[in-house]
Amino acid sequence: MIHKGRRERVKDRFLSEGALSFAPHELLELLLFYAIPQKDTNVLAHNLIDYFGSLDAVFEASYDDLCKVNGIGHNAAILLNLLLPTYSAYIKSKMGNKPLLKTNSEVYKYCNWLLKHKKLENFYVVCLNSAYQVVGNVLISKGTNNEVRAYPKLIASAVIRTNANYAIICHNHPSGNCFPSKEDENTTIQIDKMLNMIDVVLIDHIIVAPTCIFSMKNREKVDIKE
């Protein structure tokens, strides 16, 4: 009965004050109500954050790793694993089947959506038609935690296959540094020249890190606001 009374108070507070008034462990506590019917989920929420180090690390943890935390069972681990895929599906639905990328902000947001939760480096090409609508995003390669290869032939194949007029290339730096390496600079020049030969305009090369984005075209670092 004690837990039931607290749960109702937490729910009432959420409805009256909203999620922004909650600390990370309090959000986890509330979320776990719906997977764990009777236990004290406040303690479990603290245990999860202590074990993984942060709320985002909890959401990014694998099913097996979540189950290593005492008190986290099958249902709770699945619920936590559902959050990021559900959020990605929400963003994709909100953007529509063919989102428009006409502004720098729209380009940054889209590339961040593609790459922000990747734990290893990934390289994508985003293909756009003449109206700047996305007609495809193609994973070119997966790498390690600090390196990924770009394959110009695969990029060319992707833009030709989608009949693209414009292309955006993007990759991530999970380490946290969004600034380009010398290799990133050379890759951008090489791909720009290659696309120009097939009459496709390279709009930008975006580097996504956990807290910032770098635009190779605009030579600017943009902090990510959650």
pLDDT at position 1 over 70: no
Distance CA(172)–CA(191), nearest Å, equals: 17
pLDDT, tens digit, for every residue of 101-152? 999 999 999 999 999 888 899 999 999 999 999 999 999 999 888 889 999 9
- Cα 161 to its chain centre, rounded Å, is 26
Tokens found for residue 210: 């956990």
Q: What is the pLDDT of residue 103?
A: 95
Tell whether 105 and 212 lie within a shared domain. Answer: yes
151 with 125: CB under 8 angstroms? no
Distance CA(46)–CA(223), nearest Å, equals: 28
Tell whether 66 and 22 lie within a shared domain. Answer: yes
Q: What is the pLDDT of residue 87?
A: 83
pLDDT at position 3 over 80: no
Q: What is the pTM of this model?
A: 0.63
Tell whether 102 and 71 lie within a shared domain. Answer: no
**Mean pLDDT within 33-59:** 93
**Mean pLDDT within 74-96:** 85
Task: Characterize 186-208 residue by residue with b for buried, 16 or more Cβ atoms within 10 angstroms of its Cβ, and e for exposed.
Answer: ebbeebbebbeeeebebbbbbbb
CATH number, position 27: 1.10.150.20
Nearest one of 51, 54, 55 to 66, comparing CA atoms = 51
Nearest one of 195, 133, 130 to 165, comparing CA atoms = 130
Q: Give the total number of structural domains in the chain.
A: 2
Tell whether 102 and 87 lie within a shared domain. Answer: no
Q: What is the pLDDT of residue 94?
A: 66
Q: What is the pLDDT of residue 90?
A: 78
pLDDT, tens digit, for every residue of 160-181? 999 999 999 999 999 889 999 9
Mean pLDDT of the chain: 92
Question: Which of these three, 92, 114, 143, is where a domain ends?
Answer: 92
Tell whether 101 and 209 lie within a shared domain. Answer: yes
Bin 96: left if φ > 0, else alpha if -120 < ψ < 50, else beta.
left
Containing domain of residue 218, as a range?
A: 97-223
- Put the strands of the sheet holding 166-172 in their side by side order: 134-142, 122-128, 166-172, 201-208, 212-215, 220-223
Tokens found for residue 43: 């303690």
Tell whether 9 and 118 lie within a shared domain. Answer: no
Q: What is the pLDDT of residue 97?
A: 65
Q: What is the pLDDT of residue 2?
A: 54
pLDDT at position 23 over 70: yes
Tell whether 85 and 102 lie within a shared domain. Answer: no
Question: Which of these three, 27, 62, 92, is where a domain ends?
Answer: 92
Q: Give the pLDDT band (50/70/90) at residue 99.
A: confident
Count of CB atoms within 10 A of residue 224's CB? 15
Question: Which of these three, 71, 92, 113, is where a domain ends?
Answer: 92
Tell whether 135 and 177 lie within a shared domain. Answer: yes
Q: Give the pLDDT band (50/70/90) at residue 95.
A: low
Tell whether 131 and 206 lie within a shared domain. Answer: yes
Tell whether 76 and 101 lie within a shared domain. Answer: no
pLDDT, tens digit, for every residue of 122-131? 999 999 999 9
Residue 177 makes CB contacts below 8 A (sequence gap 6+) with: 209
Q: What is the pLDDT of residue 96?
A: 63
DSSP state of 198: T
More confident: 77 or 93: 77
DSSP string, 124-151: EEEEE-TTSBEEEEEEEEE--SS-----
CATH number, position 192: 3.40.140.10
Q: What is the pLDDT of residue 192?
A: 96
Tell whether 85 and 103 lie within a shared domain. Answer: no
Tell whether 155 and 69 lie within a shared domain. Answer: no
Q: Give the pLDDT band (50/70/90) at residue 205.
A: very high
Q: What is the pLDDT of residue 25?
A: 95
